[in-house]
Amino acid sequence: MYARRRRTYFLLMGVCLTLFITSWAVVRLWSIPAAVAMSAVAMVIPPFAAIVANRRGPEDRWWDETGDRQSDEWWREIDRRESR
């Protein structure tokens, strides 16, 4: 799961850099408004990429799960008692 999120993050950031570099190296020669629009789109991508990279998937372990089976069972038992 982490590899897929990392791959998606780098893909989005690659698109961002490609848009930005292409807009001012090539597109500005023909149309400055188009280059500005491409830069605006590139500006929106990094926050979205960070959100995608940091979201927790359904099979990811949560912060209080240690991987220790006995400890995890103990915390689940406590959570069940508190929810009653």
CA distances from 69 to 55, 59, 74, 76 (A): 25, 16, 9, 11
Residue 68 lies in a domain: no
Task: Answer whether residue 71 shows pLDDT above 80.
Answer: no
Mean pLDDT of the chain: 84
Domain around 24: 1-59
- pLDDT(73) > 90: no
Q: Say if 32 falls within a structural domain.
A: yes
Assess contact for 42 and 20: CB atoms under 8 A: yes
Higher pLDDT, residue 83 or 50: 50
Coil, strand, or helix at residue 1?
coil
In a domain, 35, yes or no: yes
Domain total of the chain: 1
Residue 15 belongs to some domain of the structure: yes
Which is more confident, 74 or 40? 40
Interval 13-26: pLDDT, tens: 999 999 999 999 99
Q: Is 34 part of a structural domain of the chain?
A: yes
Is 33 contained in some domain? yes
Predicted TM-score of the model (pTM): 0.65
Q: What is the pLDDT of residue 64?
A: 58
Q: Does residue 2 belong to any structural domain of this protein?
A: yes
